[in-house]
Amino acid sequence: MDPTKPCYGEMFPDLDRLEPNQPLAGKAFEVLLASRGIGVSARRAAVRPEGWEACTACAHYRDCYDLSMARLALATALENRT
């Protein structure tokens, strides 16, 4: 890992911190759960163009992407564990 880059491994938002009606951003992607009342009315995932361009231009892009995907996969696995 590159300790000089605070964004390393942070392309995707940390979904454990997701709150309704509050956009949550990683370096390259952003998500939003829109809620009106007791249920989710919409989900949105978006690319943050400036962040994505910075990520793809970075010398550590591939390693950072792999780490970001691994973190996302692990979080998903933990969420779906019974």
pLDDT tens digit string along 8-58? 999 999 988 989 899 999 999 999 999 887 878 889 999 999 999 999 999
Q: C-alpha distances in angstroms, 54 versus 7, 26, 43, 60, 71?
A: 11, 12, 25, 11, 20
Which of 65, 82, 77 is closest to 15 using CA atoms? Answer: 77
Q: What is the pTM of this model?
A: 0.83
pLDDT tens digit string along 41-50? 889 999 999 9
Spans of all domains in the chain = 15-80
**Which pLDDT band, with edges at 50, 70 and 90, does 82 fall under?**
low
Sequence length of the chain is 82
- DSSP SS3 for 45: strand
